[in-house]
């Protein structure tokens, strides 16, 4: 008579074997916080300052156009009762044209700002990725996750400080910018 091995017993042995072999492999995982890297590096601070200045110049353009709109609106309100119907309608059309142009300009400027941010941060993100990759390769880290601020989209709720590569990435980037 042949001994028969049951399928559940065989399956359990396989799973146990995989678990033991997986436990023998050391898996190193780390985290980085890109926002802290942006705030903590010389290059990141330069990028933030440049973007802030760029946004301020665009904001001044918007404020000047808003002031012009408010002036037209005030003129229309004050002169409305004494204007003829056709003159009032003409002033309203002029105001509406300015308002439409203002809204279009607002959208254009917002698009410009977003494009500038993408361009400026794109290069910096590549530098972060290279620095993280270098550190991970040197320290045999298998996986590096992005840690951000707490919120709805946060994947990492807790990590030990020893797993955080952020300060080392900041040092690596700053040392490259000094060269």
Q: pLDDT for 12-64, tens place per residue?
A: 555 555 554 545 567 888 888 889 999 999 999 999 999 999 999 999 989 99
* % of the chain residues with pLDDT over 70: 78
pTM greater than 0.85 (yes/no): no
**Cα 87 from Cα 89, distance rounded (Å):** 5
pLDDT bin (cut points 50, 70, 90) of residue 85 is: confident
Determine contact, residues 128/37, Cβ cutoff 8 Å.
yes
Q: Find, among 177, 51, 72, the residue nearest to 119 by Cα.
A: 51
Please report the DSSP string for the chain in residue order.
------HHHHHHHHHHHHHHHHHHS---EEEE-HHHHHHHSHHHHHHHHHHHHHHHHHHHHHHHHHHHHHHHHHHHHHHGGGS-HHHHHHHHHHHHHHHHHHHHHHHHHHHHHHHHHHHHHHHHHHHHHHHHHHHHHHTT--EEEE---SSTT-------GGGB-HHHHHHHHHHHHH-
**Cα 133 from Cα 125, distance rounded (Å):** 12
CA distances from 123 to 18, 73, 137, 145 (A): 42, 44, 21, 19
**Cα 131 from Cα 57, distance rounded (Å):** 33
Beta-bridged to residue 29, according to DSSP, are 143
User: In this predicted model, what pLDDT tens digit does every residue of 104-135 receive, in sequence order?
Assistant: 999 999 999 999 999 999 989 999 999 999 99
pLDDT at 160 over 90: no
């Amino acid at each position: 008579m042949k001994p028969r091995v049951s399928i559940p017993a065989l399956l359990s042995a396989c799973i146990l074997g995989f678990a033991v072999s997986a436990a023998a492999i050391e898996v190193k995982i780390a985290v980085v916080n890109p926002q802290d890297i942006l705030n903590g590096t010389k290059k990141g601070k330069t990028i933030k300052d440049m973007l802030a200045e760029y946004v301020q110049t665009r904001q001044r353009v918007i404020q000047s156009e808003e002031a012009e709109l408010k002036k037209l609106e005030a003129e229309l309100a004050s002169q409305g009762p004494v204007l003829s119907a056709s003159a009032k309608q003409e002033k309203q059309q002029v105001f509406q044209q300015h308002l439409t142009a203002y809204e279009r300009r607002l959208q254009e400027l917002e698009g410009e700002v977003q494009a500038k941010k993408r361009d400026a941060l794109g290069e910096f993100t590549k530098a972060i990725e290279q620095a993280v990759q270098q550190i991970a390769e040197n320290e045999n880290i298998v996986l590096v996750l992005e840690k951000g601020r707490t919120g709805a989209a946060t994947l990492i709720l807790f990590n030990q400080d020893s797993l955080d590569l952020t300060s080392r990435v900041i040092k690596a980037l700053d040392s490259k910018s000094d060269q």
